Amino acid sequence: MQVRLITLLFACLLVVGSVAVVGQADADVRITNVSFGGPGAVNTTTDTNKTYLWQSDPARASTTIHNDGPGGVHRYCVNARKVVSAEDEQLGNRSELGCQVTALKPNSTTNVTFERLSAPRNATGRYRLSFVLQSQPNGGEVVANNSTTVWYITKSGDVDGDGLINVHEVSNNTSIDTADTDSDGLDDGPEIQNHGTDPRSVDTDGDGLRDSLEVSLGTNPRQSIWPVLLGVAALFVLVVVGAAYRYGAFSSLGGPGSRPGTGEGRTARRGDDGGTDTSDGGAAATAAPDTVVTDEDRILQLLAENDGRLMQSELVDQTGWSKSKVSRRLSALEEEGQVSKISLGRQNIVTLPGHEPEGTKSPLDE
């Protein structure tokens, strides 16, 4: 009788010890490092704050189980529940995505992977995935649990409504849930399909103008506007300079009070005797190749080439101008003191100062 009591007491102690050990083990098991890969994982670098999974492709889920107690064999499952309301965390019905038997060694860290987790039927939107470890191979109490949130999407869908389907968002490395990835004022779809701009760059051509501004202005957002502006500016300068030169704006360089193409401007280029300016030994100054020869200059040149005097009729013949035009030009030159007109009967002799025929000079000039 005493032997039976001792045996029964020993068995009770073993049971109590076992229960105590199991309870200690439950408190020392943790599930961490949940991550997703495989064909079902949406690889995006722009939406790092969310986990997207393709509805059509199976995903691989990797986890780490930390066991600080004794070893054992457990049932390990993944369950999914749709988040009906994020505010009050209302969840839909549970769907079991996969289960497996997992053996844990005492005081160990074990990496456990679910190779093919298919999405719940017709799943789209936000889901809560729970990784649940139970005490026995066929179930039992929950000894560890970890939940994470994922978003199931379709490849042909358009989460952000920017006109670019989800699979193309991934291939272009644009945001799945933000219509304008670079915040330049143009949605990703129109940037790629209509304008050919980079949806990840505010200024595709780097000219300092946002893509949206160039589109509104009608300029090419893929080509810098500065070469065009510089070309227009250069053309404008050329037109202004040419017009100024054409209308004699630069004749003021001859001195104050000079008229374009006449007067002191010409006097400054010639000596007092009607000859050409000389300097440093008397070498004749060469005219600039782009100097504009006025009508008055032509007359003075012809006079200089003919010993400083010509009949007015000869000037008409040599210039090919009308008599009235020659007369007007000579009158202007005479007013400025550049030429003298001497009447001999019905003819006029035109001379440079100092080249008047003998007998026609004033006594004051001698």
Average pLDDT rounded to a whole number, residues 141-162: 96
Please provide residue 32's backbone torsions phi and psi, each rounded to the nearest 5 degrees. -135, 180
| pLDDT for 360 beyond 80 | no
pLDDT in tens, 47-58: 888 999 999 999
Do 252-365 and 29-153 fall under one CATH topology? Answer: no
pLDDT tens per residue, range 171-208: 999 999 999 999 999 999 999 999 989 999 998 888 88
Give the integer Cα–Cα distance in Å for 310 and 199. Answer: 80
pLDDT exceeds 90 at position 119: yes
Look at residue 110 in the predicted model and tell me its pLDDT.
Answer: 97
More confident residue, 340 or 261: 340
Tell me what the mean pLDDT of segment 62-72 comes to: 95
Reported as a pLDDT band with limits 50, 70 and 90, residue 261 is: very low
Q: Residue 267 pLDDT > 70, yes or no?
A: no
d(CA 187, CA 328): 72
Mean pLDDT of 58-84: 96
In which band, very low, low, confident or very high, does the pLDDT at 12 lie, cut at 50, 70 and 90?
A: very low
pLDDT band at 18 (very low <50, low <70, confident <90, very high): very low
% the chain with pLDDT above 90: 49
C-alpha distances out from residue 200 to 174, 178, 184, 203, 208, Å: 7, 12, 9, 9, 15
Looking at residue 21, what is its pLDDT? 34
pLDDT band for position 289 (cuts 50, 70, 90): low
CATH class of residue range 252-365: mainly alpha
Residue 170's pLDDT is 95
Taking the alpha carbons of 21, 32, 115, 84 in that order, is the dihedral positive or negative?
A: positive
CA proximity to 261, closest of 297, 290, 210 = 297
pLDDT at 236 over 90: no
Rounded Cα gap, residues 184 and 207, in angstroms: 14
Structure-token pair, residue 366: 């001698």
- Cα angle: 89, vertex 64, 83; to 5 degrees: 15
H-only helix segments in the chain: 2-27, 166-171, 188-190, 211-217, 226-246, 264-267, 295-305, 312-319, 323-335
**Average of per-residue pLDDT values in the chain:** 81
Q: What is the mean pLDDT of residues 91-101?
A: 93
Percent of the chain scored above 70 by pLDDT? 76
Task: Report the range out of 87-96, 136-145, 198-207 with the highest average pLDDT.
Answer: 136-145
β-bridge pairing 347-351 and 309-311: antiparallel
**pLDDT (average), residues 63-78:** 96
The count of other CB atoms within 10 Å of the CB of residue 187 is: 22
Using CA atoms, how far residue 65 sits from 105, 106, 110, 295, 330, in Å, is 11, 12, 5, 104, 112
Domain 29-153, CATH class in plain words: mainly beta
Per-residue confidence (pLDDT) for residue 241, from 0 to 100: 77
Name the phi and psi angles at 301, rounded to 5: -65, -45
Strands (E), the chain: 29-37, 52-54, 59-67, 72-85, 90-104, 108-117, 125-136, 139-153, 278-279, 283-284, 309-311, 340-344, 347-351
The domain locations on the chain are 29-153, 162-242, 252-365
pLDDT recorded at residue 239: 81
- For the cut 60, the answer to whether the pLDDT of residue 258 exceeds it is no
Is pLDDT at 278 greater than 60 in this prediction?
no
Mean pLDDT confidence for 137-158 = 96
Please check the confidence at residue 113 and state whether its pLDDT lies above 90: yes
Of 151 and 244, the structure prediction assigns the larger pLDDT to: 151
pLDDT greater than 80 at residue 109? yes
Confidence band for 347, pLDDT divided at 50, 70 and 90? confident
| Stronger pLDDT, 274 or 199, i.e. the higher one | 199
